[in-house]
């Protein structure tokens, strides 16, 4: 899940014997059983295997998938997880030429992958009332997980995105309702449009989940403080920032 786009570092060298040994020792292994192309950039990926069974999973947790080396990984938020049957699904977003994007674009059924997790990342269990999820392309997996964990709970989503049409198509195929899209603008002037949605949500008693770009999260938190929204009603996780890799 990071210029105004998530930054991808150069592709790593192929794993040597030490790297392969560490992957076998430290990481779980799963088979890629399905890769559904939602658009040029988005892939819905199903992983299956014995290592996925009997694991406690909470919506919002992460897995870190090795990009050919135990020392280079990319983070994904599982959309759902069947610990009895031993499968999970993640949403891959290919946004550049780095190892994560290359992995997503080249992935096919029958491949294998090594991963850490599930691991703690963002826990919304303490939040009450309807949820308002703010983020970007890297946040769609989390939004789906939160929506699917309780279909009776209202989950309103607002995403800043590069390609409105592509993201709308992917969201429709994922079955995520009530998602508002805002086109990303130079200078982040579009964040004012996102912030304009906050007062009505705060008045309705929503709790807020802020993810994606670090700078956007900071501005939205400031707006929520100005509205008097208690910190107990807000959780956040920065997935990326310009010029940085590996925030989560």
Delineate the domains of the chain, giving CATH numbers in brackets: 17-119 (2.40.30.10), 131-240 (3.40.50.80)
Lowest mean pLDDT among 8-17, 78-87, 135-144, 148-157: 8-17
Confidence of residue 39 (pLDDT cuts 50, 70, 90): very high
Name the residue with higher pLDDT: 67 or 47.
47
Confidence of residue 1 (pLDDT cuts 50, 70, 90): very low
Average pLDDT over residues 126-151: 95
Which residue in this structure is represented by tokens 């599982």? 78
Confidence of residue 19 (pLDDT cuts 50, 70, 90): low
Average pLDDT over residues 46-68: 95
Lowest mean pLDDT among 19-28, 32-41, 126-135, 161-170: 19-28
Q: What is the pTM of this model?
A: 0.89
Average pLDDT over residues 142-148: 96
Residue 104 confidence (pLDDT): 96
Average pLDDT over residues 160-175: 96
Give CA–CA dist 90/47, Å, rounded. Answer: 8
């Amino acid at each position: 899940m990071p210029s105004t786009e998530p930054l991808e570092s150069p592709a790593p060298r192929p794993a040597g014997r030490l790297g392969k040994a560490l992957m076998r020792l430290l990481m779980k292994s799963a088979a890629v059983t399905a890769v559904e192309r939602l658009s040029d950039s988005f892939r819905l990926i199903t992983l299956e295997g014995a290592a996925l069974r009997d694991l406690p999973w909470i919506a919002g947790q992460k897995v870190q998938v090795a990009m050919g080396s135990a020392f280079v990984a990319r983070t994904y938020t599982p959309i759902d997880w069947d610990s009895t049957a031993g499968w999970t699904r993640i949403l891959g977003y290919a946004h550049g030429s780095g190892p994560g994007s290359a992995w997503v674009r080249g992935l096919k059924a029958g491949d294998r992958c090594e991963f850490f997790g599930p691991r703690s990342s963002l826990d919304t269990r303490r939040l009450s009332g309807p949820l308002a999820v703010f983020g970007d392309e890297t946040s769609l997996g989390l939004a789906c997980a939160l929506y699917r964990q309780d279909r009776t709970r209202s989950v309103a989503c607002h995403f800043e995105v590069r390609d409105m049409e592509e993201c709308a198509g992917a969201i429709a195929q994922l079955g995520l309702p009530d998602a508002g899209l805002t086109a990303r603008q130079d200078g982040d002037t579009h964040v004012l449009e996102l912030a304009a949605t906050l007062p009505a949500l705060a008045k309705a008693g929503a709790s807020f989940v802020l993810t994606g770009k670090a700078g956007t999260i900071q501005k939205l938190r400031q707006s929520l403080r100005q509205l008097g929204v208690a910190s107990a009603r807000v959780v956040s996780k920065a997935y990326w920032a310009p010029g940085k890799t590996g925030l989560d």
